[in-house]
């Protein structure tokens, strides 16, 4: 049995925060909290954190009668990140090693995550948060291996994460200059980017935006559209952003590089890293795709 | 209706941490979490945080079959704090204003609080945590009013908080040099000091140790022994340590000074202060005791 008991308090907090973002009354919040407690009681013991999140946030959306509780915060995050674009672009242009610099920026953008506590403060002072992450040494640095894989690859499947972070991903995609499909969620879940959020960040100018059809965080392949699953299984190279993609794909045999900032103790323990770590990690379940599959894309 | 919904995730986390401190299996932790979820579902909407804590931690102790889950951590905290005693005592002896210095130290000792996340780290490097708090300016500074009240008072009722913090309280009591009764919990609750914990800190050398008879954090007068309640209501001056004493007594008409470090957002909001604030606050419900009551002690 592997239960993610540490996630239970966290999801209870998330539900409460989500309901407050849409301006609920205290009585409504109380009803929601009771329903979340009921839902947590009924969870299967082998439910993973992204599955729990999917269940809880579906409940939040239904109970609040709001399709996208984080819509305003997502728009604000994208706006704030776009305002920084000239600055982060200049950093990459001036860098001795533009790919490493752009990878760092893409990880720095991962601080925008409303699943975590206190994110509002980080978005309020996004530039300071980004600079702080840019100064950190990598806890896992597989950037060189990523650059080699990029050289050998005809295209990239880029699994996005949060709105706002999308802007930093756009800079990385521009820098890599390899044909890219940018994967977004099929329905709103926390502040994860949907197709509309990705377009607001200008990702349609640099990549083909593809929906995975799911409303779970990360990439729960069992919950994704068959067409997306096929794309996933034939992709020659996958860049996966954020904790939830790591949680859902770290054991999946595929050519994945994970780019993320470690933000919670559960992931930190799993990765044997400290909270706050900056990570560019070649998957331990990395497999190169045979050429025949690559050609079929 | 005033529900403390933000406390629900926190108490779920506390229960999990408490069960882990006594080395439970994951299956036992899972059973406990389910019971805590049930308990939270059944809470009255007007339950205050100390009442919730009392309910949840009683459940933890019963379920785990352990009277005092924090016994080892309390002993360790006291041991670490005692090791610092010569240093903190020297700081007070060298201070231009010994009372302010000792009040600051007593508040600094309030960082030892296993109800909060990440306390183990703070205890591991207690001296650094203490020094950090000593450098902070007061967010509320009623030390002068406290000193005046002490001059006019024949004795002090000192409501203690956590084990280890007791050592810092001992230094304050020695510095004040006014006859003092030091109040501890009747039964273990989180890492709050019981009579045995207070004796380990050497408090019996500087004060009369008095039990309030309760296993709730803070001072829930309705749950305390009648003899203690009488002592409370006739005390000429009360010093109350920590958040839980503030939560339970901030509206009680009594001659109270609260010494605490603000450690959670719920208290911060109530006090209109930032998390991390250092506070020496004369109660807004402060009332001086008539002399006839003072004489009856």
Report ipTM for this prediction. 0.85
**Residues A65-92, mean pLDDT to the nearest whole number:** 94
B16/A6 Cβ within 8 A = yes
Measured over the CA atoms of residue B268, residue B274, residue B276 and residue B278, the dihedral's sign is negative
Contact B289, B255 (CB under 8 A): yes
Task: Please indicate if any CB of chain A lies within 8 Å of the CB of B40.
Answer: yes
B26/A5 Cβ within 8 A = yes
Phi-psi region of B51 (alpha: psi -120 to 50; beta: other; left: phi over 0): alpha
Residues of A in contact with B37 (CB under 8 A): 8, 37, 40-41
Q: For A14-52, how does the pLDDT look when each residue is reduced to its tens digit (9 = 90+)?
A: 999 999 988 889 999 999 999 999 999 999 888 889 999
A6/B9 Cβ within 8 A = no
What is the distance in angstroms between the Cα of B9 and the nearest Cα belonging to chain A?
4
Task: Please indicate if any CB of chain B lies within 8 Å of the CB of A296.
Answer: no
Residues of A in contact with B30 (CB under 8 A): 1, 3, 5, 45
Phi-psi region of A39 (alpha: psi -120 to 50; beta: other; left: phi over 0): alpha
Residue of B nearest to A11 (CA): B9
Residues of A in contact with B10 (CB under 8 A): 9
Q: Mutating which of A12, A28, A34, A46 best tests the B interface, going by the most B Cβ atoms within 10 A?
A: A12
pLDDT at B1: 44
Encoded tokens for A277: 């770590």
Encoded tokens for A230: 């096929």
Instruction: Tally Cβ neighbours within 10 Å of residue A134.
Output: 15
State how far Cα B65 lies from the chain centre.
25
A30/B13 Cβ within 8 A = no
The neighbouring-strand residues paired with B108 are none
B10/A30 Cβ within 8 A = no
Cα B133 from Cα B118, distance rounded (Å): 16
B12/A12 Cβ within 8 A = yes
- Supply the DSSP symbol for A111: G
Q: What is the DSSP string of B6-48?
A: THHHHHHHHHHHHHHHTT--HHHHHHHHHHHHHHHHH--TT--
**Residues A159-183, mean pLDDT to the nearest whole number:** 97
A8/B33 Cβ within 8 A = yes
B8/A37 Cβ within 8 A = yes
Cα A245 from Cα A250, distance rounded (Å): 8
pLDDT at A119: 64
Task: Please indicate if any CB of chain A lies within 8 Å of the CB of B26.
Answer: yes
- Supply the DSSP symbol for A162: B
Task: Please indicate if any CB of chain A lies within 8 Å of the CB of B38.
Answer: yes
- Supply the DSSP symbol for B204: G
Indicate the residue of A1, A27, A41 with minimum beta-carbon distance to B38: A41
For residues B238, B229, B61 and B117, what is the CA-based torsion angle, rounded to 10 degrees? -20
Taking the alpha carbons at both ends of chain B, their separation in whole angstroms is: 38
For each of chain B's 297 residues, which pLDDT tens digit applies? 466 899 999 999 999 999 998 888 999 999 999 999 999 999 988 888 999 999 999 999 999 899 999 999 999 999 999 999 999 999 999 999 999 999 999 999 998 877 777 666 666 788 888 888 888 999 999 999 999 999 999 999 999 999 999 999 999 999 999 999 999 999 999 999 999 999 999 999 999 999 999 999 999 999 999 999 999 999 999 999 999 999 999 999 999 999 999 999 889 999 999 999 999 999 999 999 876 555 444
Among B296, B292, B255, B250, which residue's Cα sits nearest to residue B273? B250
Q: In what order do the strands lie in the sheet with A180-184?
A: A138-141, A278-282, A256-261, A238-241, A156-159, A180-184, A208-211
What is the distance in angstroms between the Cα of B2 and the nearest Cα belonging to chain A?
8
Task: Please indicate if any CB of chain A lies within 8 Å of the CB of B118.
Answer: no
A4 versus A188: the higher-pLDDT residue is A188
Among A141, A137, A198, which residue's Cα sits nearest to residue A166? A198
Q: CA A271, A276, A280: angle at the middle one, nearest 5? A: 55
Encoded tokens for A183: 């994967």
B37/A41 Cβ within 8 A = yes
A5/B9 Cβ within 8 A = no
Task: Please indicate if any CB of chain B lies within 8 Å of the CB of A93.
Answer: no
Q: How far is CA B157 from CA B234, B248, B293, in A?
A: 10, 16, 14
What is the distance in angstroms between the Cα of A10 and the nearest Cα belonging to chain B?
7
pLDDT at A121: 63
Cα B102 from Cα B99, distance rounded (Å): 5
Task: Please indicate if any CB of chain B lies within 8 Å of the CB of A41.
Answer: yes
A10/B9 Cβ within 8 A = yes
Cα A10 from Cα A116, distance rounded (Å): 8
Residues of A in contact with B40 (CB under 8 A): 37
Q: Mutating which of B2, B6, B8 best tests the A interface, going by the most A Cβ atoms within 10 A?
A: B8
A111 versus B272: the higher-pLDDT residue is B272
pLDDT at B289: 83
pLDDT at A125: 80
pLDDT at A293: 55
pLDDT at B293: 55
Q: Please name the residues in contact with A276: beta carbons below 8 A apart, sequence gap of 6 or more.
A: A136, A261, A262, A263
Task: Please indicate if any CB of chain B lies within 8 Å of the CB of A80.
Answer: no
Q: In what order do the strands lie in the sheet with B208-211?
A: B138-141, B278-282, B256-261, B238-241, B156-159, B180-184, B208-211
Task: Please indicate if any CB of chain B lies within 8 Å of the CB of A196.
Answer: no
Indicate the residue of B5, B6, B26 with minimum beta-carbon distance to A1: B26
Contacts A–B by Cβ distance under 8 A: 58
Indicate the residue of A12, A16, A45 with minimum beta-carbon distance to B30: A45
Furthest C-alpha separation in chain B: 58
Contact A200, A75 (CB under 8 A): yes
A16/B3 Cβ within 8 A = no
Encoded tokens for A216: 């779970």
Q: Please name the residues in contact with A18: beta carbons below 8 A apart, sequence gap of 6 or more.
A: A57, A60, A64, A69, A70, A190
pLDDT at A294 exceeding the cut of 60: no
A3/B30 Cβ within 8 A = yes
The beta strand positions in B196-248, using DSSP E, are 208-211, 238-241
Task: Please indicate if any CB of chain A lies within 8 Å of the CB of B37.
Answer: yes
Q: Mutating which of B9, B117, B276 best tests the A interface, going by the most A Cβ atoms within 10 A?
A: B9
What is the distance in angstroms between the Cα of A13 and the nearest Cα belonging to chain B?
6
Pairing of strands B238-241, A278-282: unpaired
Contact B109, B130 (CB under 8 A): yes
């Amino acid at each position: 049995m592997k239960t993610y008991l540490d996630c239970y308090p966290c999801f209870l907090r998330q539900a409460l925060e989500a309901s407050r973002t849409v301006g609920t009354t205290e009585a409504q919040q109380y009803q929601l909290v009771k329903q979340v407690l009921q839902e947590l009681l009924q969870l299967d013991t082998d439910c993973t954190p992204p599955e729990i999140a999917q269940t809880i946030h579906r409940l939040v959306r239904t109970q609040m009668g709001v399709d996208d509780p984080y819509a305003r915060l997502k728009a604000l995050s994208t706006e704030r990140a776009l305002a920084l674009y000239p600055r982060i672009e200049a950093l990459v242009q001036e860098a001795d090693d533009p790919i490493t610099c752009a990878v760092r920026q893409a990880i720095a953008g991962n601080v925008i995550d409303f699943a975590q506590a206190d994110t509002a403060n980080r978005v309020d002072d996004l530039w300071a948060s980004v600079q702080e992450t840019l100064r950190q040494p990598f806890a896992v640095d597989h950037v060189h291996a990523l650059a080699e894989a990029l050289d050998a690859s005809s295209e990239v499947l880029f699994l996005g994460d949060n709105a706002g972070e999308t802007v930093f991903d756009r800079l990385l995609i521009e820098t890599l200059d390899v044909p890219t499909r940018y994967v977004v969620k099929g329905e709103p879940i926390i502040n994860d980017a949907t197709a509309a959020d990705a377009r607001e960040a200008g990702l349609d100018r640099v990549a083909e935006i593809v929906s995975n059809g799911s409303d779970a965080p990360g990439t729960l392949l069992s919950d994704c559209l068959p067409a997306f699953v096929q794309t996933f299984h034939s992709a020659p190279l996958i860049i996966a952003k954020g904790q939830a993609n790591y949680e859902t794909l770290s054991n999946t045999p595929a050519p994945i590089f994970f780019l993320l900032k470690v933000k919670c103790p559960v992931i930190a323990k799993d990765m044997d890293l400290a909270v706050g770590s900056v990570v560019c990690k070649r998957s331990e379940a990395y497999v190169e795709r045979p050429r025949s599959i690559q050609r079929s894309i």
